[in-house]
Amino acid sequence: MSTTYKINLSSQGTAIKSLFTGYLIVIAIGYLMALVQIQFTHGMADGKLGISVDDIVYSYYGKRSGSVIESQLNGSMKAMASEKDRLKIINWVRKGANEKAFHDNGIRKIMDTNCIACHSAASGLPIPDFTKFEDVVKVSETDTGISFSSLARVSHIHLFGIAFIFMFVGLIFSLASGISKALKSTVIVMPYIFLVIDIASWWLTKLNPHFAWLVIIGGGSMALSFAFMWIVSIYEMWILPRIREDDRNALLDE
């Protein structure tokens, strides 16, 4: 006669629970840091803190009424220079971004003081090198948002990286016993669906700004799926066993 043992989170030993919990906590902190990073990049595209539809449009489709550098100086780079210096650069761009005026009007000096620390080859960052005038001219052109090459690079990094994160979070969550199989299966697969929607919406917004809402829906739904799996997993590992133990002791006392 064979006996079937049901493996679930609440029945795991302390060592396994500690392993799972450590992973979940670190991943949660990483997720929060990613949200903070989004706030200071895309979230500042319109010059105001907080993600909005305009932020998404400016980041992917661009603000085509002006130049790239103007959008940045009025958005995420607003705090990097004084208002006087920012207006001076913007006026130079609007007058044609002439190379002679770049040196004679002090634009070179402003950039050396405020921009070169990051915008140079020495920084190692994947951003324009403002030590070269030709790179400055490129960002003086009409703002069409993120380039297709950059979009392809970011897309494949997110698809690989986030898929791996949700594979392990989903594996831990799959051992939960307090919810139905149908709900569990649905919640496990949802992050992958929303991940594909999120990435696809970047490309769609690059082509048409009306798809910006889809970026927020995809990203927000993916975060909700993560939060649900995280909370249920932590609850079943550390809180549920204590509740069951208290119930058992209460029955013994009767």
Distances (CA, A) of 145 to 64, 126, 148: 8, 15, 9
The answer to whether 143 and 70 are in contact (CB under 8 A) is: yes
pLDDT tens across 33-45, in order?
A: 999 988 888 877 7
Tell me how far apart the alpha carbons of residues 236 and 110 are, in angstroms, rounded to a whole number. 57
Lowest mean pLDDT among 27-31, 42-46, 230-234, 237-241: 42-46
- The encoded tokens of residue 235 equal 């609850």
Going 29 to 35 to 39 to 45, the CA torsion angle's sign is: positive
Q: What is the mean pLDDT of the chain?
A: 87
β partners of residue 142: 67
Tell me, yes or no, if the pTM score tops 0.85: no
- % pLDDT > 90, the chain: 50
pLDDT tens across 85-142, in order?
A: 889 998 998 888 888 888 888 999 999 998 988 888 888 877 888 888 888 888 888 8
What are the DSSP calls for 149-168, one per residue?
HHHHHHHHHHHHHHHHHHHH
Question: Over 80: is that where the pLDDT of 250 sits?
Answer: no
pLDDT at 76 (0 to 100): 76
pLDDT at 30 (0 to 100): 96
Question: Over 90: is that where the pLDDT of 233 sits?
Answer: yes
Neighbours of 204 (CB within 10 A): 18
What are the DSSP calls for 69-91, one per residue?
HHHHHTTTTGGGS-HHHHHHHHH
Question: Over 50: is that where the pLDDT of 252 sits?
Answer: no
Q: How confident is the model at residue 18 (pLDDT cuts 50, 70, 90)?
A: very high
pLDDT at 63 (0 to 100): 85
Question: Over 60: is that where the pLDDT of 160 sits?
Answer: yes
Q: Which residues of 208-242 are buried (b: 16+ CB within 10 A; e: fewer)?
A: ebebbebbbebbebbeebbebbbebbbebbeebee
Helix (H, G, I), strand (E, B) or coil at 50: coil
pLDDT at 2 (0 to 100): 41
pLDDT tens across 54-73, in order?
A: 999 989 999 887 888 888 88
pLDDT tens across 179-192, in order?
A: 899 999 999 999 99
Question: Over 60: is that where the pLDDT of 220 sits?
Answer: yes
**Helical H runs in the chain?**
14-40, 53-60, 68-73, 83-94, 99-104, 107-114, 133-138, 148-173, 181-207, 212-234, 240-253
Question: Over 90: is that where the pLDDT of 217 sits?
Answer: yes
